[in-house]
A and B are shown apart, each in its own frame.
Chain A
Amino acid sequence: MEVKRNQLSAWLYLLPTIILMAIFTVYPLIRSFFMAFAENYNYMTDTWSSIGINNFRIILGEGSEFLQYLKTTCLIVIISVPISVVLSLLIAVGLNSIKKLTKLYQTIFFMPYVTNSIAIGMVFSVMFAGDKSIVNYVLELLGIGGQNWLGGVSTYGNHASYVSQMTVLLIYIVWHSLPFKILVLLSGLQGIDKQYYQAAQIDSASKFTVLTKITVPLLSPQIAFLTTTSFIGAFKEYSSVIGLFGAKEGATGGHYDMRTIVGYIYASLTDLNVGEACAGAVVLFVIIMVFTLLKNFISRKQIHY
């Protein structure tokens, strides 16, 4: 009797959240899944002609730009995730070994996290755009030579290549994603018992051995967490593209060089191609799910305790 009453009140407390989630998360999820298979869906009248896989045929078929966007997204994922994880690990280890001014450095490294991504994007475009941009200036000084990174008229030609654009975008994404990772890894590092390091010192381990054989394995839960979340995050990359390139989603208007899957979904919705947008969303969902399952499968063998 008592238990039942407790359960009832528990459900009552949860009710507001459940209702909101049902309306804004669960229902749209199911609905969009359904709409991905609805052919000739009419947004205004909420009607469709039949159920089938026509939407997928359109976006995955010949002449569709979707595959190009998928490629861009996958490139972002494959390159930015490993780089940002490794880089944040090195920075976190470095920060952790600093004895003085640790708090100050931590604050500095955490700043990108609290800064608006559109604002950062604008700063980046100033840093990279045009002849006189600071990046090109430094590259010239180093004798490497500048590039047309973000398009526009410049002495390096009036066209920014896919690779240059991708480079800037990746730098932006990695840089923007570092602080959170560093924070997680730092707290992980501070939780590692100092005695392991003393033991390693007694055992004559080199700095490199300590990093690879002690620190990384002991951080493996944090690293696994960060890898999963940033895989998912990178597949959903969108705001960085807007921050850097604006609505053009690329250096040159009309080409959408840097458009990602989420960018495509937004664009299709704007064009009222709801069926295609939903099909895109389903494809993204499947990809992320496959990756997550794969990752879980691997990390079951990799996380040590």
Chain B
Amino acid sequence: MDIKIVHLTKVFADKDQAEVRAVDDLDIVIPSGKLIGLLGPSGCGKSTTLYMIAGLLSPTDGQIYFGDDDVTKLSPEKRGIGLVFQNYALYPHMTVKQNILFPLQNLKVPKVEALERAQKVADLVDIGSLMDRKPRQLSGGQQQRVAIARALVKEPDVLLLDEPLSNLDARLRLQTREEIKRIQRETGITTVFVTHDQEEAMSISDEIVVMKLGVVQQQGKPQDVYNNPVNKFVAKFLGTPPINMFNAEIVDGKVMIGEEAIAEVPFENQEVEVGIRPEGFEVVDGADSGAFSFVVEQIEFIGRDKSIVARHPNCQTASFRFIIDADIQGVEVGKTIRANVKPNKRYIFHKVTEKNMELSSPEELEVVEQVEELGE
């Protein structure tokens, strides 16, 4: 069952009537049986969106469709969803078994069947042997799996997860996100997964939706979004280490960072910003052939790779970081070296609209520019 979200808007009005547009004109389609990562910085409206899908918050505007049914006005219990809260919200006074049975009891499922289903789903998430414990007697990861079991046991059409891994330590987080992926694949439930951790979203999602200030920036397969970010925000948000940003200029079809041309593009002369992924620098052994030069400040070995911290006057941050193969010789601290920039790892962003110029039609860049001028 697809979930279609159309023009979804949520405006919170607080006491002194100041309005917060937590979600603004959101349009996304969540394909059936897929795991979608809803990704964005803190406060961008991810939870609000999730709660509107769940029915715990009513939208100010817009519609939500489950398949062909408009569920916008439907109360949560009628939507057939499972929700895992950020802090799990397991009932502390009930055992694991009672927690998992609770939704079934409310749905008046016969006792024998309910027990069977509870045990089955508990085994699925690997907590079958913990059924008689209270939540406080469980580790964070186990609690989270109980929460997932409770959400799954009524066999919902949609599973919603609100930052389910944020309370776990790094190792457990890795382990549980694999588990979520496995459970989702085994059950085939359409799943929406909220997180502000881009790595997490990229690693388990079939598709990611990147949000900023209540507005969707881009939706697509993680690799596609990473490789083809539509704007500076998306480019900067995805990837560790983060993308390196440089001030640049287009002169006669050449992208100039300082005096050096790193690429050729079919655009008119103008100031632009260039983003280069950390893996986008091609350092040749000997290190004196290459378009782009900079001063090496620090070298860190990270196993197979070397992480280089370097300085460049046009870089928007004091230093930037990139990764090269550990075998490459000739890179030394304090030395100026040269590198080529891989064409598919660098993006040219419009100075005003911050859009990825190579992915935008000329109109997109122009129109906004005019609006901008009118505004002045």
- Compute how far the CA of A245 lies from the CA of B87 in the bound complex, rounded to whole angstroms: 55
Q: Mark A196-234, 1 if CB is under 8 A from B, else 0.
A: 101111111110010001100110100000000000000
- Contact partner, B134, options A198, A200, A305, Cβ 8 Å: A305
Contact A204 B87 (CB under 8 A): no
- Compute how far the CA of A107 lies from the CA of B25 in the bound complex, rounded to whole angstroms: 43
Q: Using Cβ atoms and an 8 Å threshold, which residues of chain A touch B75?
A: 201
Given known contacts A198-B56, A218-B92, A304-B92, A203 and B106 CB-to-CB distance under 8 angstroms: yes
Q: Using Cβ atoms and an 8 Å threshold, which residues of chain A touch B83?
A: 198-199, 202
Q: Which residue of A lies closest to B107 (CB)?
A: A204
Q: Say yes or no: is A195 at the interface (Cβ < 8 Å to chain B).
A: yes
Q: Which residue of A lies closest to B162 (CB)?
A: A195
Q: Mark B83-124, 1 if CB is under 8 A from A, else 0.
A: 101010101111000000011011100000000000000000
Q: Say yes or no: is B76 at the interface (Cβ < 8 Å to chain A).
A: yes
Contact B102 A218 (CB under 8 A): no
Q: Say yes or no: is A46 at the interface (Cβ < 8 Å to chain B).
A: no
- Contact partner, A204, options B77, B89, B91, B92, Cβ 8 Å: B77
Q: Using Cβ atoms and an 8 Å threshold, which residues of chain B touch A217?
A: 91, 93-94
- Compute how far the CA of A201 lies from the CA of B78 in the bound complex, rounded to whole angstroms: 10
- From 146 to 193 in chain B, residues with beta carbon under 8 angstroms from any chain A beta carbon are 150-151, 154
Q: Mark B39-83, 1 if CB is under 8 A from A, else 0.
A: 000000000000000101000000000000000000111000111
Q: Using Cβ atoms and an 8 Å threshold, which residues of chain A touch B151?
A: 202
Q: Using Cβ atoms and an 8 Å threshold, which residues of chain B touch A218?
A: 92-93
Q: Using Cβ atoms and an 8 Å threshold, which residues of chain B touch A304?
A: 92-93, 134
Contact A205 B102 (CB under 8 A): yes
Contact B89 A205 (CB under 8 A): no
Q: Using Cβ atoms and an 8 Å threshold, which residues of chain B touch A201?
A: 56, 75-77
Report the minimal beta-carbon distance from B347 to chain A, rounded to whole angstroms: 40
Q: Using Cβ atoms and an 8 Å threshold, which residues of chain A touch B76?
A: 198, 201-202
| A contact patch SS | helix
Given known contacts A198-B89, A217-B93, A305-B136, A205 and B81 CB-to-CB distance under 8 angstroms: no
Contact B89 A199 (CB under 8 A): yes
- From 168 to 213 in chain A, residues with beta carbon under 8 angstroms from any chain B beta carbon are 193, 195-196, 198-206, 209, 213
- Compute how far the CA of A220 lies from the CA of B151 in the bound complex, rounded to whole angstroms: 26
- Compute how far the CA of A209 lies from the CA of B83 in the bound complex, rounded to whole angstroms: 19
- Contact partner, A198, options B85, B92, B94, Cβ 8 Å: B85
- Contact partner, B89, options A196, A206, A213, A220, Cβ 8 Å: A196
Q: Using Cβ atoms and an 8 Å threshold, which residues of chain A touch B105?
A: 209
Given known contacts A202-B81, A202-B82, A220 and B107 CB-to-CB distance under 8 angstroms: no
- Compute how far the CA of A214 lies from the CA of B102 in the bound complex, rounded to whole angstroms: 11
Q: Using Cβ atoms and an 8 Å threshold, which residues of chain A touch B136?
A: 305
Contact A214 B77 (CB under 8 A): no
- Compute how far the CA of A291 lies from the CA of B260 in the bound complex, rounded to whole angstroms: 89
Contact B56 A204 (CB under 8 A): no
- Contact partner, A305, options B92, B102, B106, B154, Cβ 8 Å: B92
9 contacting pairs across A/B (C-beta < 8 A): A193-B89, A196-B89, A198-B85, A198-B89, A201-B56, A204-B77, A218-B93, A304-B92, A305-B93
| A-B residue pairs, 10 tightest by C-beta | A304-B93, A204-B77, A195-B89, A203-B103, A217-B93, A204-B106, A199-B89, A202-B83, A205-B106, A201-B76
With A199-B91, A202-B56, A209-B105 given, name 19 new contacts (CB 8 A): A195-B85, A195-B89, A196-B91, A198-B76, A198-B83, A199-B89, A200-B102, A202-B77, A202-B151, A204-B103, A204-B106, A205-B77, A217-B93, A217-B94, A218-B92, A218-B93, A304-B92, A304-B134, A305-B136
